[in-house]
Amino acid sequence: MSFTTYPEHPVLLIDDEEQFLFSAEITLNAAGLKSVVKCQDSRQALALLAQKEFAVVVLDLYMPHVSGKELLPQIIAEYPAIPVIVLTAVNEVETAVECMKAGAFEYLVKPVDDARLVTTIRHAIDILEIRNENDLLKTSLLSEQLRHPEAFAEIITANAAMRGIFKYIEAIAPTPLPVLITGETGVGKELVAKAIHQVSQRQGEFVAVNVAGVDDHLFADTLFGHLAGAFTGADKPRRGLIEQAAGGTLFLDEIGDLNNESQVKLLRLLQEGKYYSLGSDMSKVSDARIVTATHQDLVSMQSHGHFRKDLYYRLQAHRVHLPALRERLDDVPLLIEHYLKKAAQTLNKKQPAAPRELATLLRTYHFPGNVRELEGLIFDAVSRHTAGVLSMSSFREKISPNHAAPEKNIHTPEAELPLINFADRLPTLDEAEQILIDEAMQRAGGNQTIAASLLGLSRRALNNRLRRAKEE
Tell me how far CA of residue 422 lies from CA of 317, 406, 431, 432, 441, in angstroms.
Answer: 43, 22, 13, 10, 21
Tell me how far CA of residue 123 lies from CA of 55, 56, 177, 196, 274, in angstroms.
Answer: 11, 10, 12, 23, 16
Distance separating the N- and C-terminal Cα atoms of the chain: 77
Q: What pLDDT is stored for residue 5 in this prediction?
A: 58
Largest Cα–Cα separation, the chain: 100
The residues facing 253 across adjacent strands are 210
Q: What pLDDT is stored for residue 143 in this prediction?
A: 60
Q: What pLDDT is stored for residue 398 in this prediction?
A: 83
pLDDT digit string, tens, across residues 166-195: 999 998 898 888 999 999 999 999 999 999
Cα-Cα-Cα-Cα dihedral sign, residues 168, 169, 174, 177: positive
Q: What pLDDT is stored for residue 1 in this prediction?
A: 35
How many other CB atoms are found less than 10 A from the CB of residue 409? 18
Q: How many CA atoms lie within 13 A of 281 on its CB side?
A: 0
Burial class from Cβ neighbours inside 10 Å (0-12, 13-18, 19+) for residue 2 reads exposed
The residues facing 281 across adjacent strands are none
How many other CB atoms are found less than 10 A from the CB of residue 48? 16
Of the candidates 358, 349, 357, 361, the one whose C-alpha atom is nearest the C-alpha of residue 385 is 349
How many other CB atoms are found less than 10 A from the CB of residue 301? 17
Is residue 51 within 8 Å of residue 95, measured between CB atoms? Answer: no
Tell me how far CA of residue 405 lies from CA of 242, 326, 435, 458, in angstroms.
Answer: 39, 11, 21, 22
Burial class from Cβ neighbours inside 10 Å (0-12, 13-18, 19+) for residue 184 reads buried
Burial class from Cβ neighbours inside 10 Å (0-12, 13-18, 19+) for residue 466 reads middle
* Reduced 3-state DSSP string for 397-423: HHHCCCCCCCCCCCCCCCCCCCCCCCC
Tell me how far CA of residue 318 lies from CA of 61, 80, 126, 295, in angstroms.
Answer: 36, 25, 12, 16
Amino acid at 147: R
Q: What pLDDT is stored for residue 407 in this prediction?
A: 46
Structural domains in the chain, CATH included, are 11-131 (3.40.50.2300), 147-323 (3.40.50.300), 326-399 (1.10.8.60), 429-471 (1.10.10)
10-residue mean pLDDT profile of the chain (472 residues): values are 62 91 90 88 91 91 88 89 86 79 86 88 83 65 76 92 92 90 96 96 93 89 91 88 94 94 92 88 89 95 92 93 94 94 93 88 90 94 89 83 46 52 76 80 77 78 78 68
147 φ, ψ to 5°? -80, -30
